[in-house]
Amino acid sequence: MRLQNTHTTKDIISLFLKGLAMGGANKIPGVSGGVVAFVTGFYEELIFSFKRMNTNAIKLLIHGRFKSFFQYTNARFLFILFSGSIFSYFTVSRLLDFLLRNYELFVWSFFFGLILGSIYYIAKGCEKFSSKNFIALGIGIALGIGISLLPPAKENTNLSFVFLCGIIGVSGMTIPGLSGSFILILLGNYVLLLVDSVNILSKTLTDIFSGDFTFIHDVKRIKYLKILGSFSAGSAFGLVVTSHILGYIIKRWHSIVTAIILGFITGSLGNVWPWKEKIFQMQNNQFITDIQGNKILINYQRYLPELSNSNTWYAIGFIIIGFLLLVLMEYYGRENRSAL
């Protein structure tokens, strides 16, 4: 496996931008950051780097061999990538929030085109399909469709369940086509973990930097911080465990795994279908809201577009733009590789 070059400024900026894209994708229900990693060419290195978070890495830290630790864990690559992902929360993610509020149909259309482009990209890179690969493709499609049709559960604040949510939710980063945000919606904890708890953390950090520590006496605030801590611990645990499992199976059954990923992304297309209406959580014929007063999304009702509507054709245009963007990225990446 060839590692990403992170020595020149151009390489660092390129990897940082990939982190931006992955971070933005991970936040949107139905879109997988793993697809970004797969298509932009750093998926296997990401899995490889997570696999290095093991007992050997811990021993290097204990013995103070920090330089060896950073080299062994590919920490430079991870630091640049996750710097981009974290920065995206304050930039790209905020922009996406604005666009989704004001141009939702066109945003989903663009993402639908990107996913179609990623399917084309992955299929083009597949080896000649054997009967085993076709079976794997079918399994992937069935899994993708099955998950997209699951009914959402109710919110659960139990810390053990929240830890499990962290393990499962981080899958969007390690498994292309599986949206961690959408999984959290199905588990009933999307608002709790990615909206309410994050808002509480942001407010807490603001208080800390301003020298206000009165929040330690706020029972509700501490409860949310515990929830976020449990979710973060589960995510870290999930990254390490799933990366070891994925690293093992990718090494031994690369073509079959690629076929399953291709099928899974194809089966998950319904998650990003542009023409859909939001279904919000209700109780006693009234909408339930989060701590900021926003209605809680639990699923979507999909429908076929009206071809007589001009917005439908604009949306189709954005689908084409998204698809062509992925094709051009693939072409650019191939040209760069051939030039080396």
- pLDDT, tens digit, 9 for 90 and up, residues 250-288: 778 878 888 888 888 888 788 778 998 878 877 788 887
pLDDT for res 340: 46
Say how far apart CA 35 and CA 100 lie, in whole Å: 20
- pLDDT exceeds cutoff 80 at 20: yes
Residue 122 banded pLDDT, cuts 50, 70, 90 = confident
- pLDDT exceeds cutoff 90 at 313: yes
pLDDT for res 278: 79
pLDDT for res 337: 46
- Structural contact between residues 205 and 171, judged by C-beta atoms closer than 8 angstroms: no
> Whole-model pTM?
0.68
Percent of the residues in the chain that have a pLDDT greater than 70, as a whole number: 88
Say how far apart CA 314 and CA 306 lie, in whole Å: 12
pLDDT for res 126: 67
pLDDT for res 227: 92
State the pairing for strand pair 282-283/276-280: unpaired
Determine the average pLDDT of the residues in 302-329: 89
pLDDT for res 329: 67
Q: What is the mean pLDDT of the chain?
A: 81
**Residue 98 burial (C-beta neighbours within 10 Å; 0-12, 13-18, 19+):** exposed
Listed range (88-97, 166-175, 192-201) with the worst mean pLDDT: 88-97
Q: Mind listing the pLDDT tens digit for each residue in 161-171? A: 999 888 887 87
- Say how many Å lie between the first and final Cα of the chain, rounded: 16
- pLDDT exceeds cutoff 80 at 231: yes
pLDDT for res 330: 62
- pLDDT exceeds cutoff 80 at 16: yes
pLDDT for res 7: 61
Q: Can you read off the two tokens belonging to residue 109?
A: 């259309």
